[in-house]
Amino acid sequence: MIIQLKANPDEAIVTALTKRLEATPATVIRIKNHMAIPELSHVDLTPAEAANVTEVIEKTPAAVLGSRLFQPEDTIIELPHSIIGGKGHFTMMAGPCSVESEAHLRKMAKVAREGGATILRGGAYKPRTSPYSFQGLGEAGLKYLREAADENGMDVITEVMDEDHVDLIAKYTDVFQIGARNMQNFSLLKAVGKTRVPVALKRGMAGSIDDLLNASEYIAAGGNHQIMLLERGVRTFDNKYTRNTFDLAAVPVLQKLTHYPVIVDPSHAVGVWDLVTPMAHAGVASGASGMIVEIHDDPEHAFSDGPQALKPDTYKKMTKEVFEMRRLMDSWEA
């Protein structure tokens, strides 16, 4: 339920109403002149209360703090080297799937930067389907990421899988990534919600748009509003030639519903390197605020996800084209 207040309402009455609703019990979220009460769909207002209210809407959106209803303007996330969200910004994030060694990561960071990326990706803690697959270098990997990023004037994004790692990883990264498998790991979402480090939340394999928005609300409810949402493909019957089904319509759908930036991940969406470039083109064309891709100079010997990694030259051609496409699109909006 959303209670739309008048301009300059009587705050004493609003406070009393809030207390009354919270006692039912229910959560009351005040955003400017709106009160959102997700658990309720009806309230009987006293005449004094009604005099301060212009409208009561039965349904609350999936994400309250993330909704365009209450904040029409885009969330813009500012990092030392990157701006994510808003008109006129397109952010490229690139790097290897896993951090493999200090030397390799430095090499890849240089390539990423040359292709226009301002954020370096790389997994130090890896969520692997099998417990017997490579699980990441841990803290050493975080150090290599930080150093390689600093050396190239880049920011860092890396995955956090475990609430007990939140503080450690926060020391090294500029952005937390929450992986698809943890989209509804609510303990982890609450943990990153307590920090002030920006969070990139990936959509789960069976995550509906509303599930993703609700998950983002777990972070925002903790006070961390620096959130971006990542579309990386969903799981469908169509999985012979691609790993997932890239749901690009989710980009404009999310942009209608929420003010958070939406980022696309063509690498995980398709899982095969020679489909990444056309899907990167499609991704920027869908209107996303940025892109995250995997690169590797020797994909056959990559520690993880080699088949979907772009080699340096392919990557640089792709990003050049993606930036040109974005500039063309900017010209339409000018």
Q: Which of 2, 5, 17, 62 binds its own copies (CB under 8 A)?
A: 62
Measured from the CB atom, the residue of 56 and 221 that comes closer to its own copies is: 221
Within residues 16-45, the interface with its own copies by CB under 8 A covers 26-27, 29, 38-39
Q: Given the structure tokens 């930067």, which residue do they identify?
A: 113
Q: Which of 117, 145, 199, 251 binds its own copies (CB under 8 A)?
A: 251
Measured from the CB atom, the residue of 79 and 309 that comes closer to its own copies is: 309
Q: Binding to its own copies by residue 279, rule CB under 8 A?
A: yes
Q: Which of 68, 138, 205, 314 binds its own copies (CB under 8 A)?
A: 205
Within residues 305-334, the interface with its own copies by CB under 8 A covers 321, 324-325, 328-329, 332
CA angle 289, 197, 259 (to 5 degrees): 35
Q: Which of 151, 223, 249, 313 binds its own copies (CB under 8 A)?
A: 249
- Which of the ranges 45-53, 74-82, 139-147, 230-238 carries the binding residues for its own copies, by CB under 8 A? 230-238
Measured from the CB atom, the residue of 141 and 149 that comes closer to its own copies is: 141
Instruction: Give every CB contact of residue 141 below 8 A, 6+ residues apart in sequence.
Output: 98, 99, 122, 123, 124, 125, 158
Amino acid 114 reads E
Residue 119 near residue 152 (C-beta atoms within 8 A):
no
Q: Binding to its own copies by residue 71, rule CB under 8 A?
A: no
Q: Binding to its own copies by residue 256, rule CB under 8 A?
A: yes
Number of residues written out for the chain: 334
Q: Binding to its own copies by residue 123, rule CB under 8 A?
A: no
In angstroms, what is the minimal distance from the CB of 196 to its own copies? 18
Q: Binding to its own copies by residue 252, rule CB under 8 A?
A: yes
Q: Binding to its own copies by residue 128, rule CB under 8 A?
A: yes
Distance CA 246, CA 230 (A): 11
Residue 62 near residue 274 (C-beta atoms within 8 A):
no
Q: How many CA atoms lie within 13 A of 296 on its CB side?
A: 22
Measured from the CB atom, the residue of 82 and 123 that comes closer to its own copies is: 123
Other C-beta atoms lying within 10 Å of the C-beta of residue 140: 13
Give burial (CB, 10 Å; 0-12/13-18/19+) of 324.
exposed
Q: Binding to its own copies by residue 208, rule CB under 8 A?
A: yes
Q: Residue 61: beta bridge partners?
A: none
Measured from the CB atom, the residue of 81 and 165 that comes closer to its own copies is: 165
Within residues 137-166, the interface with its own copies by CB under 8 A covers 161-164
In angstroms, what is the minimal distance from the CB of 58 to its own copies? 16
Element housing 16 (H / E): helix 11-22
Q: Binding to its own copies by residue 209, rule CB under 8 A?
A: yes
Q: Binding to its own copies by residue 133, rule CB under 8 A?
A: yes
Residue 32 near residue 6 (C-beta atoms within 8 A):
no
User: Which string of DSSP letters, residue by residue, matches 137-193?
Assistant: -THHHHHHHHHHHHHTT-EEEEE---GGGHHHHHTT-SEEEE-GGGTT-HHHHHHHH
Measured from the CB atom, the residue of 102 and 321 that comes closer to its own copies is: 321
